[in-house]
Amino acid sequence: MIDTKKISFATKGGFDMVNLTKEVGRMIRNGSIESGIVNVYSHGSTTAVVTLGSEDGIREDFVEMVKKMVPEGKYKHDEWTEHHNGVSHMRSALLGTGLNIPFMHKRMFLGMFQQIYFVDLDSIEREREVIVQIIGE
């Protein structure tokens, strides 16, 4: 069985992070699927879906790490479009736009501090949407 849901929200760009953990957990608890895998997917090419710990400083460390791995600079995409967000696309490609989390008895297998985050890697405010597919029996 597959149950597909959507989560919509506004973001500010610039590494705006939205914690999706409670909402995804609620979808699983309120659904009819007892055990399986939940896929959390953003269909934006300047976004990411990641898991991070909830301890102090982790989000800030994550942002700094991504900036070091894929620094601001000149990207071919910026020469061909008016968006000038080539760095956002490269960061998204590196981090990934989705993840799968197993669950059993309607409870996700997440670590004690592990959280699911949507990350807006672009530089402008916009409406975003995440697709949540709950797959199992």
Burial category of 58 from C-beta neighbours within 10 Å (exposed 0-12, middle 13-18, buried 19 and up): middle
Higher-scoring residue by pLDDT: 7, 82: 7
* Residue 48 pLDDT exceeds 80: yes
Q: In the structure, what pLDDT confidence band is assigned to residue 82 with cuts at 50, 70 and 90?
A: confident
Domains of the chain (ranges; CATH) run 2-136 (2.60.120.460)
Question: What's the predicted TM-score (pTM) here?
Answer: 0.94
Tell me what the mean pLDDT of segment 99-103 comes to.
Answer: 98
